[in-house]
Structure 1
Amino acid sequence: MNKKYNDSWMFPMFEFLQYGFMQNAFIAAVLVSVACGMVGTYVVVKKIVSISGAISHAAFGGIGLGYLIGINPIVAAIPFSLLTAVSIGLINERVKISEDTAIGILWSVGMALGVIFISLSPGYAPDLFSYLFGSILTVPYFDLTLMFILDLIILSTILLFHKEFLAISFDEEFSKVVGVPSESLYILLLCLVALSVVVLIKVVGVILVIALLSIPAAISKQFTYKIKNIMVLSIILGIILTFTGLWLSFVFDLASGATIVIVLGLAFLISIFLKKYW
């Protein structure tokens, strides 16, 4: 697509924003970073990264359902992801089954349902690959609007329940003792994770969601212990690293979602080095 730039490292980093699809991609990167910076902080602090992975993979069932009934797959993924989040929360709190077992069951069942729904849908799913591995360069205006609305919902919920989320993230047992409705708040937190997953799907895809949701917060957590600072730093890092990955994918004609994740991974390795030796 951009092979005339492939041999040049000097391609101006902001010149590519003159293209309309790149402007949409940059806006998507910002919206994604906001959601991941806020929710990802709780995910990393509470150590529920694997649960986030289960929700993201189960969301594929919603994408398949969208193809089957003929609606936008992202829209269909919202209730499906929320249902998965609530199911994991209830199983974890009320059913005598280990959390990793519940995660494995919902993870695999969600993906399987997605495959079945797509196989039953008429015709061919031309953009299915983008939902699996992301395609930030093809994010339409409707998806940007939906991402913005979901970001507002996530932000509003966190502002309303920040102290409660903080309590259950660090000491859920003590929260129960002092009267905090920890079960309901835990399920609500998982629902925020589900909404974040929906925001992320179009950018990095179902397979790579967990990287954006965890790596910026994991990097930030190495340099500060205050939740608010981790959130702010995660958002800033998310924007910078996602933009860098987007630029590199444009210059070298690489898969955008995978390139963004590679940049995130390298940034994490660099942060470990800086933390240890500086």
Structure 2
Amino acid sequence: MMDVLFEPWQHVFMQRALIVAVASAVLCGVVGTHVVLRGMAFIGDAVAHSVFPGVAIAFVLQLNLALGGATAGIVTAVVIAVTSQNRRLKEDSVIGVFFAAAFALGIVVLSGAPGYGGSLESFLFGQILGISDADVRTVLTGGALVLSAAALLHKRFVAVSLDRETARASGLNVWAIDASLYIMVTIVIVISLQAVGNILVLAMLVTPAAAARLLTDRLGVMMVLAPVIGAGSAVTGLYLSYSYNLAAGGLTVLVVTAVFLVCWLIAPKHGLLTRLV
């Protein structure tokens, strides 16, 4: 029985996939906590779509796809942060404008780039079983930078999440804090694209944190639970993918969604069944 459980992890490609999947899940859990607390799920979707033109342009110019996607995502994130400071516009409206424009740009660029189909499929659905040693190093390095920034800016993120106007009155640069969070979301999404792909990356950013939010009222505990839920789901998804020859990214998202539904039903204080009893 134990041999069956550990057999998948004896392969080098599965070991690489495991490292990247767990690292991506931890990053998504930490950054996703701030996204959920601020009600910013839409920004994750926007950034995931805004990396698309960067990837398309990088492909046409024969540059690094991840770098192209990250550049486009960061530019879009900063533009959103600047534009959303206008109080007559709600943040979700600004996000909707720019993520649609970015995705449209990607479609236009892609229409003039024959031969992009294979790369596009990997971009949309992930390629975690094709991870290289260089990819692992990139993910771990980028992940360490994101976690360091998250720790450094944690109190500022929380202050803005609780009350933007009070944070601004106390001297905090709310625009810079917003832009920093958007850029972190962009980097996490680009890192996670290899694990679950562009279509499903929002689920890994939001769902583990949402499940953790149902389990606790304490921010510190939530920031521990979200990465644990995400990492556990990633490991389970990979194992099921190897065992049944199905898409790893899709299975990972289905597992974490199942965890969320269980929490929604039976969470100790906030579960539906718990409140009915």
Q: TM-score, normalised by structure 2?
A: 0.91
What is the SS of the residue equivalent to 2:85? helix
Unaligned runs of 5+ in 1: 1-8
2:132 corresponds to 1:140: yes
Q: Distance in 2 between the 1:63 and 1:79 partners?
A: 9
Once the two structures are TM-superposed, the CA of residue 57 in structure 1 deviates from its matched residue by 0.8
Once the two structures are TM-superposed, the CA of residue 114 in structure 1 deviates from its matched residue by 2.0
What is the SS of the residue equivalent to 1:121? coil
2:240 corresponds to 1:248: yes
Which residue of 31, 35, 54 maps to 2:23? 31
Where does residue 162 of structure 1 map in the other structure?
154
Counterparts of 1:76-115 in structure 2, within 5 Å, are 76-94=68-86, 96-115=88-107
Once the two structures are TM-superposed, the CA of residue 10 in structure 1 deviates from its matched residue by 9.7
Where does residue 33 of structure 2 map in the other structure?
41
Asked whether the equivalents of residues 123 and 194 of structure 2 are also in contact (C-alpha less than 8 Å), the reply is: yes
Q: In 2 relative to 1, CA 166–98 (structure 1 residues): closer, same or farther, beyond 3 Å?
A: closer
Q: Number of residues paired by the alignment? A: 270
Q: Distance in 2 between the 1:17 and 1:107 partners?
A: 38
Which residue of 107, 113, 119 maps to 2:111? 119
2:250 corresponds to 1:258: yes
Name the amino acid aligned to 2:60.
L
Q: Distance in 2 between the 1:14 and 1:102 partners?
A: 48
Deviations 1:142-181 (A, max 9, x none): 2222211211111111121111111011211111121111
Which residue of 32, 55, 59 maps to 1:63? 55
Where does residue 5 of structure 1 map in the other structure?
none
Unaligned runs of 5+ in 2: none
2:194 corresponds to 1:214: no
Where does residue 75 of structure 1 map in the other structure?
67
Q: Distance in 1 between the 2:84 and 2:164 partners?
A: 13
Q: Distance in 2 between the 1:83 and 1:166 partners?
A: 24
Which residue of 14, 19, 23 maps to 2:6? 14
Asked whether the equivalents of residues 64 and 113 of structure 1 are also in contact (C-alpha less than 8 Å), the reply is: no
Which residue of 249, 264, 272 maps to 1:272? 264
Deviations 1:19-76 (A, max 9, x none): 1111111001111012111100000001100111101111111111121111221121
Name the amino acid aligned to 1:78.
A
Deviations 1:100-151 (A, max 9, x none): 3322222222222222323333534423112112221112222222211211
Asked whether the equivalents of residues 238 and 252 of structure 2 are also in contact (C-alpha less than 8 Å), the reply is: yes
Asked whether the equivalents of residues 19 and 136 of structure 2 are also in contact (C-alpha less than 8 Å), the reply is: yes
Once the two structures are TM-superposed, the CA of residue 95 in structure 1 deviates from its matched residue by 7.1
Q: Distance in 2 between the 1:140 and 1:117 partners?
A: 28
Asked whether the equivalents of residues 67 and 117 of structure 1 are also in contact (C-alpha less than 8 Å), the reply is: no
Q: In 2 relative to 1, CA 273–239 (structure 1 residues): closer, same or farther, beyond 3 Å?
A: same
Once the two structures are TM-superposed, the CA of residue 11 in structure 1 deviates from its matched residue by 8.2
Runs of 4+ residues over 4 Å off in structure 1: none
What is the SS of the residue equivalent to 2:5? coil
Name the amino acid aligned to 2:26.
V
Which stretch shifts more, 115-124 or 180-189? Answer: 115-124
What is the SS of the residue equivalent to 1:222? helix
Percent of paired sites with the same residue: 33
Where does residue 3 of structure 1 map in the other structure?
none
Q: In 2 relative to 1, CA 164–47 (structure 1 residues): closer, same or farther, beyond 3 Å?
A: same
Name the amino acid aligned to 2:229.
L
Task: Compute the RMSD of aligned alpha carbons.
Answer: 1.8
Deviations 1:217-250 (A, max 9, x none): 1111112222222111111111111111111122
